[in-house]
Amino acid sequence: MAITTPHRPPAHPVYVIGGGPGGLAVAAALGARGVRAVVLEKSDAVGASWRAHYDRLRLHTTRRLSALPGLRMPRSFGRWVARADVVRYLEKYAEKHELEIVTGVEVFRIERDGAEWILHATGGRRLTGRAVVVATGYNHTPHVPDWPGRDAYEGELGHARTYRNPGPYEGKDVLVVGAGNTGAEIAADLAEGGAARVRLAIRTVPHIVRRTTAGWPAQRTGILVRRLPVALVDRMGDLMARVAVPDLSAHGLPRPTTGLATRQREGAVPVQDVGLIDAVRAGKVEVVAAVEAFDGGEVLLADGTRIAPDSVIAATGYRRALEPLLGHLDVLDGDGRPVVHGARCPREAPGLYFTGFTNPISGMFRELAIDAERIARRIARSSAK
Ligand SMILES: Cc1cc2nc3c(=O)[nH]c(=O)nc-3n(C[C@H](O)[C@H](O)[C@H](O)COP(=O)(O)OP(=O)(O)OC[C@H]3O[C@@H](n4cnc5c(N)ncnc54)[C@H](O)[C@@H]3O)c2cc1C
């Protein structure tokens, strides 16, 4: 009698959308648990965001606390890892974990089909996954406010995403808009790199912290205080700022009136000083009021001033841009962010996971590493059932 084994089709893979550190970390953690994961990356290589960042960027989180599961960053990278080394690390990471990555494939829409997920992607692809991890990035689509007169502005206006180095701005009068980490660093870079005049337009005064104080990294403090009450952290932050950061009120940068943790809750991470304090004190970066509008070749500021810089660089943030992909699934909050992250799935969407959509003071690489393990553990457990 012939014995036949029942034919079981191979299980569909888990699709991970995005080949940045978040997606790679999840794929590696899944692989380590024997779960097949396929990473879909719309660009032609992993780490697309880090390839595109400005030249002088370094991680402001430490090398040790920024490593992803299963691969340390080499000591030779130093404590504050350079942008190019982050890219090298991500390439090595994919290689070491033998990740299955398909580049040049963008996922446009995700739909539920019974217990499975259908992904509509480049080239008319229709892919079926048993679970999907969305890792398309917190800083997905550059956002430039819809300032009145913006489109008719006669000067040069670009987003920080396209800024590489101060070279093209040598001898120019430049206005940087927005004092987050990116705006602050680009302003300092321009001032050090030969721009004739650099102004930084600020709407809300940022919290500025030293990257290290007596050798102790700000990130470690962020980790320690993360679970403490907001009011307590606000007070601690205020105290530390008074000790470590000079009063820059005379230069247009008074101390913020809302606490550091309160602001963090609203989505604003503190600015790590990598040159702004010195540049402001030396008058190399002038702080000006927020941008209100454009008028021909002029920029109108909130205090009524009109200025006429050669170039404006909008360091005004990014959007998650998740709506086309999964807005129809009712899994986003009013700000367009996923309602859950890590090992939890939205109630209506079992098998749909998100990583990289929070911005904690403890460091996002660290958070991505933690969430990767949690997501992989959960998926592996549900696959074993
Ligand atoms: C200037 C800057 C400096 C930062 N510095 C630090 C730091 O020092 N320490 C720290 O911990 N964090 C830092 N972060 C925050 C965060 O760690 C990084 O943004 C990190 O790259 C986030 O990883 P990710 O994988 O979530 O997103 P990304 O790195 O943005 O990767 C997302 C990937 O998804 C791809 N993709 C997007 N949409 C699709 C789609 N529909 N289909 C297929 N592929 C898609 C993109 O091409 C991209 O490769 C920084 C962020 C910025 C912007």
pLDDT of residue 85: 98
Which of residues 317, 337, 369 is at a domain's end?
A: 317
Q: Are residues 174 and 80 in the same domain?
A: no
Task: Check pocket membership of 29 for ligand 1, CB cut-off 6 A.
Answer: no
Q: Are residues 157 and 283 in the same domain?
A: yes
Q: Are residues 154 and 235 in the same domain?
A: yes
Q: Is the pLDDT of residue 2 over 80?
A: no
Which of residues 285, 317, 349 is at a domain's end?
A: 317
pLDDT of residue 16: 98
8 in any annotated domain: no
Q: What is the pTM of this model?
A: 0.94
Residue nearest to atom 7 of ligand 1 (CA): 59
Question: CB-based contacts of 206: which residues, under 8 Å, 6+ apart?
Answer: 179, 180, 184, 256, 268, 270, 271
pLDDT tens string 231-260: 999 999 999 889 889 999 999 999 999 999
Q: Are residues 187 and 205 in the same domain?
A: yes
Task: Check pocket membership of 186 for ligand 1, CB cut-off 6 A.
Answer: no
Find the 357 Cα to ligand 1 centroid distance in Å. Answer: 10
pLDDT tens string 203-221: 999 999 999 988 999 899 9
Find the 203 Cα to ligand 1 centroid distance in Å. Answer: 25
Which of residues 263, 294, 317 is at a domain's end?
A: 317
Q: Are residues 136 and 146 in the same domain?
A: no
Q: Are residues 21 and 151 in the same domain?
A: no
Mean of per-residue pLDDT scores for the chain: 94
pLDDT tens string 316-350: 999 999 999 999 999 999 999 999 999 999 998 99
CATH number, position 300: 3.50.50.60
Rg (CA), the chain: 23
Q: Give the domain extent around 328.
A: 14-140+320-384
Q: Which of 3-17, 27-41, 115-129, 167-181 has the lowest mean pLDDT?
A: 3-17
Question: CB-based contacts of 348: which residues, under 8 Å, 6+ apart?
Answer: 329, 330, 331
Find the 246 Cα to ligand 1 centroid distance in Å. Answer: 32
pLDDT tens string 40-57: 999 999 999 999 999 999
Q: Are residues 47 and 88 in the same domain?
A: yes
Task: Check pocket membership of 65 for ligand 1, CB cut-off 6 A.
Answer: no
pLDDT of residue 3: 52
Question: CB-based contacts of 239: which residues, under 8 Å, 6+ apart?
Answer: none
7 in any annotated domain: no
Residue nearest to atom 19 of ligand 1 (CA): 139
Q: Furthest-apart CA pair in the chain: how many Å? A: 93
User: How many domains does one find in the chain?
Assistant: 2
Q: Is the pLDDT of residue 1 over 50?
A: no
pLDDT of residue 383: 78
Q: What is the DSSP letter of 34?
A: T
